[in-house]
Amino acid sequence: MQDHSMPVSGRREVLLGSLAIASTLILPATVRAQSRTLVVTPAQTPGPFYPDQFPSDVDNDLVLLRGAEARAEGTITHVMGHVLDLRGQPVPGAQVEIWQCDAHGRYLHRADRGTRPRDTAFQGYGRTTTGGDGAYRFRTIRPVAYPGRTPHIHFAVRAPDRPVLATQMYVAGEPLNERDGLYASLRDPRQRAAVTVRLTEASGIENGALAGTFDIVLAG
């Protein structure tokens, strides 16, 4: 007996969708990158709040500080991607650093004069190194706005024999993006797209968390 619970076209979409996901997982980054036009990730100011003192823990999980029981406030967000060169080749051995304000809008920096209390459970800064496939990942919180800025995560990428790239990652769909001076300074829509990441449910990674992919393309 035929199952009429889902139209045939619907089934086909589901099947194609799962194949698309499967191929995304199977194809190496280089092949995926070559299937689209790569845009060099635009440089953006590191801003004034690169930590003046590193936290006790500088790993790639900013939600948990070693030795602390509480977890950071905010929506847990997995940010992952590949560091690539302009030909789409992975860049291994690149140090990727991120820093961002906590859920109260406070940075891990003595010059941050915000009046709200700092979330001492938030690491505020983390670093990792890309593997042979150029991949990196962080577990952090969804960035929040603070006065004058749309939500963003600062990145610095130090790859062997290349200049340091400082940039910022933005969240797709954030209404404040269009009013943010640094975001607006990216006049080329392709450059904006290169630093704008869609965050979706981190299904299969962590319940209740978000996830997004931010590939970083180095010049040359």
Q: Provide the binding-site residues for Fe ion, judged by CB under 5 A.
A: 47
- Minimum separation from the CB atom of position 101 to Fe ion (A): 7
CB of 45 to Fe ion, least distance (A): 9
Q: Check if the beta carbon of residue 139 is closer than 8 Å to that of residue 78.
A: yes
Question: Which is nearer to Fe ion, 60 or 100 (by Cβ)?
Answer: 100
- The candidate with the shortest Cα–Cα distance to 28, out of 95, 85, 89, is 89
Distance (Å, rounded) from C-alpha 22 to C-alpha 34?
18
Question: Least separation, in Å, of the C-beta of 7 and Fe ion?
Answer: 48
Nearer to Fe ion, 73 or 133 (CB): 73
C-alpha span between 178 and 172 (Å, rounded): 11
Contacting residues for 148 by C-beta, under 8 A, at least 6 apart:
none
Measured from the CB atom, the residue of 42 and 47 that comes closer to Fe ion is: 47
Smallest separation, CB 24 to Fe ion (Å): 31
Closer by beta carbon to Fe ion, 91 or else 108: 108
d(Cα 192, Cα 217) in Å, to the nearest integer? 13
